[in-house]
Amino acid sequence: MIRSVPQLVSVAAIVIGIALFILTLFYIDLDETMASASRLGLALPVILLPGACWQLLRTWGWAISFPEAVRPPFTRLFRVRLAADAIGFFTVRGLAGEPLKVVLLYDRVAPEVTTAAVALERLAFAVVGILIAFFISFAALTSLSMPGAWDTVFTLLMIGAVVVLAALWAMARRRTGDYLGRFVGLIERLTGRRLASSRVIKFILDVEDVLLDLLRGGQHRLVTLTGLAVVCYALMTLEVWLVFWAVGESIGLIEALAVETFARLASVASAAVPGNIGTLEASNAAVVAALGLGGGGALALARRIRALLWAAVGLALYPRIHERRQ
């Protein structure tokens, strides 16, 4: 029996994912997909290589997001990241995976510092991803011949990218002071209540202080995170190209970037669906078909195998907390 809103959201997400998976099976050519999948065999280790590099680089980006004085070892961060992503993969990503990172590092780093490091790494990769998505959407609209509905999708993606980037730029203009702290102070003056005395509010304000110190502490960290985000985007695009190379389909750079951009957008939009069931298959197969190419089913299969393999590795390497933090 469903007794809460989170349970309702989870059940609805699972139902939507299963429905999309069934629709994808009717949408794609199963014979062509099976034939393409058979050609993935020997090439699969090569296809999985960009994903492995992506995991290492994302862990490096998370590592440099910590203050140097309290930065955990890379191997510990790698295990924590894989374990949290594995749990998030099978549940609601973000709501389960990101807090778990804080818990698994609780015996080594203060929770507010870990939370700020997670937020900084996520923010840097999200901003660069949005910026790249803007340019790729523009290139898709001007260079690729796609049905009208897909032109609308990429146009909306461009508009969304502009809005988000404008908001982030407005926040970044201020180099001193905080944001949430001033907002809480305003609410306190209007209501006469001492919100900052709450443990939850205090923790959030402490996270903001650490995050702003990291952002304003030097350009080297931000430049490195930006470069890593670009390289990781390129690695996932390379994965798309490798799958089509393995199945004998010809695909250009802009087409591969368009596939990765839409698949990434769909992944973010379907974060509530456990295991991306159905949404992963539908997003990859749909955009490939819109480009007039075959091999969408093979791409979805390769990415499903990659996701399951890394989830299994994350569960196998699940770290333990050996002592409690004082």
Helix-helix angle 199-216:180-191, to 10 degrees: 150
Q: Is the pLDDT of residue 116 over 70?
A: yes
Which contiguous run of DSSP H or E holds residue 177? none
| pLDDT recorded at residue 78 | 95
Q: Is 75 left (phi over 0), alpha (psi -120 to 50) or beta?
A: alpha
Task: Give pTM, 2 decimals.
Answer: 0.80
Percent of residues, the chain, with pLDDT higher than 70: 67
CA distance 86 to 233: 21
CA distance 94 to 115: 12
> What is the radius of gyration, based on Cα positions, of the chain?
21
Q: Is the pLDDT of residue 9 over 70?
A: no
Q: Give residue-wise pLDDT tens across range 210-231.
A: 766 666 666 678 788 889 999 9
Position 75 confidence tier, pLDDT thresholds 50, 70, 90:
very high
Position 281 confidence tier, pLDDT thresholds 50, 70, 90:
confident
Residue 225 near residue 58 (C-beta atoms within 8 A): no
Helix-helix angle 296-316:219-247, to 10 degrees: 130
Position 95 confidence tier, pLDDT thresholds 50, 70, 90:
low
Q: Give residue-wise pLDDT tens across range 144-180.
A: 777 767 778 778 878 877 887 776 666 555 555 566 6
Position 326 confidence tier, pLDDT thresholds 50, 70, 90:
very low
Q: Is the pLDDT of residue 60 over 90?
A: yes
* Helix boundaries (H) for the chain: 5-27, 30-38, 44-64, 74-90, 97-104, 111-143, 148-172, 180-191, 199-216, 219-247, 253-269, 279-290, 296-316
Backbone φ and ψ for 274, nearest 5 degrees, come out as -60, 130
Residue 2 near residue 213 (C-beta atoms within 8 A): no
